[in-house]
C-alpha cells in the first residue's frame, strides 16, 4: 500500500497527477497571513466555483456569510476560543447549515418542511462541508491559504447572534482566507492501508496504528518546531475521553436541527 503523499504511476512509469491533486497533496492549514487584501472579485470567483459542489437533492441546504468587518472577526475569534488568526485573516467565511430557506420555499409551494429529524440535519451539514472544502481548494489554487474553524460550534447561539442568523441556520464551521505569510508543510496522514479498505472493512490493531503513526507525526512536529511532548494517540486519549461541546445537541435541536 502507498501513503497519501506518494505519486501513483502507471505500469509504463508515467506519473498520474493533475493540478488539483498537487494542491491537495500540499494542503495544510494556514494561520499566518500577510497584511494584504483579498479582493471582492477573487472571493466571488472562489464562491462561484465552490457552489458547484454537490448538494443533496439539489436542496442547497447551506448558506455562506462573508465577513470582513474587523469587529465581527474579533468577536468570532473570541467565540472560537481565542483563535487570533480568525481576526487577522482578511476574509472569514461562515459555512452554515441552512434549512430556513427550504422552510420558506416549501411554504410558498403549499407544503411544510419536515424539520427536526436526523436526515435533514445530515443533509444540511454535509452540504455545508462540501461547499467549504471546495472553497478551500479554490482558494489554494489561487495562492491563498486558510484554516477550518470548528470553534464556531463552541457557542452556536452567540455566533448566530453575531451574524444575525435566523431560526434554522447555524455555523457548522468557519474558513479563514488570506495570503499566507508562512505555508506549513502538509501534515502526514495515517498510512493508506489503515484508511482505505478494499471491498470490505479490514480492522487494524490499535497497537499497530500507534506504533506506525505516532513516530511519523512526531517527526513532522520536530521539522516544524511544534514538539509538545504529547503523542497523537495520547492527545486523543486526553482530549476526547469526554464528550466535546455537550451543549451542542440541545442548541441545535432548538434551532430545528434534530439529531435523534
Phi and psi at residue 79, in whole multiples of 5°?
-65, -25
More reliable by pLDDT, 189 or 12: 189
Q: Which of 189, 37, 62 is nearest to 124 (CA)?
A: 62
Digit-coded pLDDT (tens) for 45-101? 999 999 999 999 999 999 999 999 999 999 999 999 999 999 999 999 999 999 999
Please tell me whether residues 62 and 151 are part of one structural domain.
Answer: yes
C-alpha to C-alpha distance for 104 and 106, rounded to whole angstroms: 5
Q: Which residue in the block uniquely carries the three cell numbers 474553524?
A: 149
- Is residue 234 situated within a structural domain? no
- Count of the separate structural domains present in the chain: 2
Please tell me whether residues 156 and 197 are part of one structural domain.
Answer: no
* Secondary structure of residue 73 in the 3-state scheme: helix
C-alpha to C-alpha distance for 260 and 252, rounded to whole angstroms: 11
User: What is the pLDDT at residue 2?
Assistant: 45
pTM (2 d.p.): 0.92
CATH of the domain at 153: 3.40.109.10
Please tell me whether residues 89 and 37 are part of one structural domain.
Answer: yes
Kindly provide the b/e burial profile for residues 87-113, where b requires at least 16 CB atoms within 10 angstroms of the residue's own CB.
Answer: bbbbbbbbbbbbbbbbbeeeeeeeeeb
Helix H or strand E segment including 146: none
Please tell me whether residues 89 and 203 are part of one structural domain.
Answer: no
Digit-coded pLDDT (tens) for 222-251? 999 999 999 999 999 999 999 999 999 999
Please tell me whether residues 130 and 164 are part of one structural domain.
Answer: yes
Digit-coded pLDDT (tens) for 141-186? 999 999 999 999 999 999 999 999 999 999 999 999 999 999 999 9
Q: Where residue 259 falls among pLDDT bands split at 50, 70, 90? A: confident
> Domain range spanning residue 216?
192-223
Amino acid at each position: 500500500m502507498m501513503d497519501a503523499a506518494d505519486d501513483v504511476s502507471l505500469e509504463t512509469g508515467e506519473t498520474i497527477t493533475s493540478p488539483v491533486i498537487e494542491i491537495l497533496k500540499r494542503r495544510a492549514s494556514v494561520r499566518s497571513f500577510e497584511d494584504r487584501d483579498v479582493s471582492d472579485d477573487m472571493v466571488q470567483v472562489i464562491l462561484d466555483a465552490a457552489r458547484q459542489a454537490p448538494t443533496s437533492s439539489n436542496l442547497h441546504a447551506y448558506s455562506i456569510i462573508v465577513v470582513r468587518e474587523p469587529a465581527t472577526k474579533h468577536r468570532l475569534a473570541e467565540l472560537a476560543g481565542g483563535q487570533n488568526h480568525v481576526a487577522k485573516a482578511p476574509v472569514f467565511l461562515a459555512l452554515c447549515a441552512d434549512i430556513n430557506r427550504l422552510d420558506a420555499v416549501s411554504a410558498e409551494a403549499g407544503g411544510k418542511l419536515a424539520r427536526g429529524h436526523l436526515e435533514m440535519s445530515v443533509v444540511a451539514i454535509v452540504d455545508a462541508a462540501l461547499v467549504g472544502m471546495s472553497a478551500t481548494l479554490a482558494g489554494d489554487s489561487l495562492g491563498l491559504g486558510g484554516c477550518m474553524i470548528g470553534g464556531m460550534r463552541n457557542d452556536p447561539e452567540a455566533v448566530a447572534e453575531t451574524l444575525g442568523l435566523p431560526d434554522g441556520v447555524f455555523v457548522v464551521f468557519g474558513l479563514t482566507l488570506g495570503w499566507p505569510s508562512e505555508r506549513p508543510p502538509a501534515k502526514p496522514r495515517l498510512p493508506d492501508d489503515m484508511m482505505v479498505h478494499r471491498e470490505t472493512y479490514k480492522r487494524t490493531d490499535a497497537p499497530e496504528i500507534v506504533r506506525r503513526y505516532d513516530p511519523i507525526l512526531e517527526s513532522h512536529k520536530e521539522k516544524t518546531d511544534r514538539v509538545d511532548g504529547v503523542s497523537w494517540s495520547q492527545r486523543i486519549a486526553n482530549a476526547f475521553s469526554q464528550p466535546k461541546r455537550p451543549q451542542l445537541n440541545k442548541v441545535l435541536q432548538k434551532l430545528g436541527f434534530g439529531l435523534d
